[in-house]
């Protein structure tokens, strides 16, 4: 396994453990390359057999698929049994969206309550391997909590850069609980990331999703999903889009799964953004090869309130490879979808609900057939933003009282 520039026309390669954050030749993001795998049937059997193992790596829905990951000594892996996320059918939500076959994979049912744990187990493991004394990330909250937890497990100091006033108290409290140092930035996520990148030369190991080791962990969501579906992909996989690390990771996984003969059909990847933070949507529509940055991103879905997504090129590659789609939804549509997910007994944070809101919009527009098989990714637990839930219900109650008068 080695590092390679993600831009096909460049092709520059680096040693697997190089600490570069971008290609030294062209400046694009890097990715890890899996060179070869065993015969598909053998791998599928091995991965299933590991479910009966008491090896800590096999209790993880990430490291159980370690043939497609960087290799480390067994005792070097930093894991908390992340992954192993069940598929849940949404009865009321499916009807509301106009679908007959909708399932949710709720990545919020992870150790720290969000999808970031898939990538943080690999990212922190690599940081530990490299002897890092401190790790850092910019975050809208979820990355911070996940990094802080896994850093604590590894005995590494954590410093998180958060946009002041734009992160829920639940997420701030989580980072504090795990012992992270919090640096509040006067600005949004994009400005926090810029400050972090400036400080990375001061001994911090960088752990945002442009770190290719993060992407390797997050891609295993697709390996686990395909195994759950008996290696028969759904028609559509729908994911919310913020900094676009997940979209990039899922696209990379689907390319690998097809190339290595583990799946035959390629599902369509659908990325859903909030209207006020829709840089990828604008970029997709313009189709001019440049990122259309949203200078002042705004949305109630704080986890995807990002205007300058760093992984946009990788995300576009994933959408094109899967013949997928990009769509945006309003905050009102997100709030309504979130309420429906709650009524189904599932629950999620606002950003996750963008997937369901996008699905309903696409079905109504005739872009997705009502009988299509769909898996929607929910990325954060409902308890990540309890303030939103309380305020929503207070608003509903106040509206009902006004109407009654």
149: burial class by Cβ within 10 Å (0-12, 13-18, 19+)?
A: buried
> Which residues in the chain come in under a pLDDT of 50?
396-401, 404
CA dist list (Å): 107 to 316, 337, 387: 23, 17, 21
Whole-number pLDDT of residue 405:
53
CB 266 within 8 A of CB 324: no
Whole-number pLDDT of residue 42:
97
CA dist list (Å): 349 to 115, 163, 268, 294, 334: 12, 18, 24, 23, 10
342: tokens are 């709650």
Q: Whole-model pTM?
A: 0.94
Whole-number pLDDT of residue 196:
86
CA dist., res. 209 & res. 199, Å (int)? 17
Q: What is the pLDDT of residues 33-50, one digit of tens each?
A: 998 899 999 999 999 999
Query: Which residues neighbour 295 within 8 Å (Cβ) at sequence distance 6 or greater?
Result: 307
Whole-number pLDDT of residue 395:
53
CA dist., res. 367 & res. 4, Å (int)? 35
Whole-number pLDDT of residue 201:
59
The number of CA neighbours under 13 Å toward the Cβ of 366 is 0
Whole-number pLDDT of residue 301:
94
Whole-number pLDDT of residue 398:
47
Whole-number pLDDT of residue 335:
96
Whole-number pLDDT of residue 394:
66
Q: What is the pLDDT of residues 280-289, one digit of tens each?
A: 999 999 999 9
């Amino acid at each position: 396994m080695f590092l390679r520039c993600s831009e096909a026309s460049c092709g520059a390669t680096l040693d697997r453990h190089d600490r570069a954050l971008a290609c030294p030749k062209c400046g694009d993001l890097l990715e890890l390359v899996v060179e070869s795998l065993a015969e598909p049937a053998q791998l599928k059997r091995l991965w299933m057999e590991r479910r009966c193992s008491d090896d800590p790596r096999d209790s993880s829905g990430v490291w159980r698929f370690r043939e497609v990951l960087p290799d480390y000594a067994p005792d070097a892996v930093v894991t908390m049994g992340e992954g192993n996320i069940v598929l849940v059918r949404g009865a009321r939500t499916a009807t509301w969206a106009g679908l007959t076959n909708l399932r949710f994979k709720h990545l919020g049912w992870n150790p720290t309550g969000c999808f970031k744990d898939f990538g943080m187990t690999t990212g922190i493991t690599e940081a530990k391997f490299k002897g890092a004394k401190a790790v850092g990330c910019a975050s809208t909250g979820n990355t911070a909590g996940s990094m802080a937890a896994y850093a604590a497990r590894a005995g590494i100091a954590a410093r998180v850069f958060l946009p002041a006033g734009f992160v829920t108290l639940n997420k701030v409290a989580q980072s504090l609980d795990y012992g992270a140092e919090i640096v509040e930035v006067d600005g949004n996520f994009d400005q926090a990331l810029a400050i972090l990148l400036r400080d990375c030369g001061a001994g911090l190991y960088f752990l945002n999703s442009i770190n290719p080791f993060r992407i390797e962990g997050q891609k295993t969501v697709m390996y686990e999903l395909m195994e759950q579906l008996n290696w028969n992909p759904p028609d559509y996989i729908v994911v919310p889009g913020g900094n676009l690390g997940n979209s990039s990771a899922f696209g990379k996984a689907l390319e690998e799964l097809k190339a290595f003969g583990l799946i035959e059909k390629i599902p369509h990847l659908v990325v859903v953004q909030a209207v006020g933070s829709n840089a990828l949507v604008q970029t997709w529509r313009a189709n001019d090869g440049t990122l259309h940055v949203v200078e002042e991103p705004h949305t109630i879905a704080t986890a995807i309130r990002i205007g300058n997504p760093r992984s946009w090129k990788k995300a576009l590659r994933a959408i094109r490879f899967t013949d997928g789609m990009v769509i945006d939804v309003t905050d009102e549509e997100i709030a309504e979808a979130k309420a429906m997910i709650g009524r189904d007994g599932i629950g999620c944070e606002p950003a996750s609900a963008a997937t369901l809101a996008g699905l309903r919009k696409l079905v109504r527009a005739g872009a997705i057939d009502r009988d299509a098989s769909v898996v929607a990714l929910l990325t954060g637990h409902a308890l990540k933003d309890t303030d939103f839930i309380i305020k929503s219900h207070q608003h509903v109650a106040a509206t009902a009282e006004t109407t009654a008068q």
